[in-house]
Chains A and B, each alone.
Chain A
Amino acid sequence: GEDVEQSLFLSVREGDSSVINCTYTDSSSTYLYWYKQEPGAGLQLLTYIFSNMDMKQDQRLTVLLNKKDKHLSLRIADTQTGDSAIYFCAERGGGSGGYQKVTFGTGTKLQVIP
């Protein structure tokens, strides 16, 4: 099956930029997603990028996609304590007949130090 890999943990100081990285194996991915999960809560869709794009910016969030290397990153500018959460990378692809399964990474726990 398809695989999505993320580092488990990232610690940054408040005000710095955070960069969370993700690699995936599915060469037929169509969409790639970033979700945020706060303790005890569900997953909140932060942003997503279509596979024919290489960058997307949305306020403090910048997504970079290197399709050749199958590498996705999420940059959070001016990281705040409220950004502390687990961030999941996910990719959609590999299916047929109109159905494309979404595969999630194991999540990166971001800790923001005041």
Chain B
Amino acid sequence: NAGVMQNPRHLVRRRGQEARLRCSPMKGHSHVYWYRQLPEEGLKFMVYLQKENIIDESGMPKERFSAEFPKEGPSILRIQQVVRGDSAAYFCASSPPDQETQYFGPGTRLLVL
């Protein structure tokens, strides 16, 4: 059973460009969570999704950030018009229906020049 997969592992964007981060949950997992980790800081919750539904986006910035988890395919975290402050590691986690545990992907490290 493959773990949580994220791609790309590293992403470089110039200010004003768009960043698309992908996450494929573990097989059988229907819940996806996105977190952001700034350098030398802990993880900050961004958004929690189930298939085709956003359940909790309380940690997501109101502008430029969006997330989806379509019926088919990976979950996507999209950042429009990136700024230098968006540079961080973005982690995706998935959990089975009971949500007892979350399993993390390797992360996408975004660098905005």
Residues of A in contact with B (beta carbons under 8 Å apart) = 31, 33, 35, 41-45, 48, 88, 92, 98-107
- Known contacts: A42-B107, A48-B101. The answer to whether A99 contacts B56 by CB under 8 A is yes
Q: In the complex the two chains form, what is the Cα distance from A31 to B107 in whole Å?
A: 24
Secondary structure class of chain B's binding surface, majority of residues? strand
**Interface of B with A (CB < 8 Å)?**
4, 6, 33, 35, 41-45, 48, 55-56, 91, 93, 99-107
Q: Which residues of A contact B99 (CB under 8 A)?
A: 92, 98-100
Give CA–CA (A91, B107) in the complex, Å: 21
CA distance A105 to B4 in the complex (A): 22
How far apart are the CA atoms of A41 and B35 in the complex, in Å?
A: 14
Kindly state the separation between the CA atoms of A35 and B107 in the bound complex, as whole angstroms: 15
